[in-house]
Amino acid sequence: MTRRMRVLAVDDVAPALAELSRMLRESPHVGEVAEAGDPITALRLIQAGPLDAVFLDISMPAMNGLELGSLLARMTDPPVVVFVTAYEEHAASAYGIGAVDYLLKPVSAERLAAAIARVRRFGAAETTQAPTPVDALPAVPVELAGRTRFVRRDDVRFVEAHGDYVRLHTPSGAHLVRIPISRLEEHWQHAGFSRVHRSYLLAVPAVRELRSDLSGGLLAHTDVGDVPVSRRHARELREHLLEAATRGAFEPPDQRAR
């Protein structure tokens, strides 16, 4: 987007709405900021359009932000959605809706600027196609009882490190391969794999939901097991999940199991 954007700020708390609108108007990339104090007014403004982005609170009466976001996702040409909320636990639900970012209140000017940059990149991606990276190790040879079989990268949900070996977890079972996890990360990061822990490499599109364990840590749930996410990788994983949802990289569980 080279022109300045027209955006909508939605929050049922008037001071919060005023502050968000002020911050948006201070961005050099935003030309007009519309305001809505409830989801119904927001929906009317969106339908009247056109809008480039909606900065949407989640906790609102009558219809919450996630429900409104789900309605927008069904539109033919919906605006980009950025959730702005005080509740971190709604992030996993936002990924499936296709939001491009998830801001926690109080929002800093730097974090809002990053979200606006993400919205602009999403708009630019609609007209610009990035070069396709060179594929590497689309399948990994596995030695078993004197026979060699190949495990397809697309079947791998996550990778677990075991010294100089890794265990590839797939719906058909786990497969031990002699390769360092750092090398596999280098080859597979362009294919949607993200390092989420010192000992784990995760296929981002395989994530079904994020959970908390008994100690308050974060787990990424897949159809073949849970993967621990270290505290320092948690934010990066959430960003990767948002990007994957924006690209439509997630598949129904029944398709990934085939």
What was the pLDDT predicted at 34? 96
163 confidence band (pLDDT: 50, 70, 90):
confident
| Span 15-38, average pLDDT | 95
- Of 34 and 121, more confident: 34
Q: Would the pTM count as exceeding 0.75?
A: no
Domain ranges of the chain: 5-125, 139-256
Among candidate residues 11, 33, 3, 43, the one with its CA nearest the CA of residue 127 = 3
What was the pLDDT predicted at 109? 94
**What Cα–Cα distance (Å) separates residue 63 from each residue in 7, 78, 116?**
20, 18, 25
Evaluate if residue 251 carries a pLDDT over 60: no
139-256: CATH architecture: Beta Barrel (2.40)
| Span 134-163, average pLDDT | 81
- Decide if domain 5-125 falls under CATH 3.40.50.720: no
Query: What is the biggest distance separating any 2 CA atoms in the chain, rounded to whole angstroms?
Result: 70
**What Cα–Cα distance (Å) separates residue 205 from each residue in 48, 73, 202?**
34, 19, 9
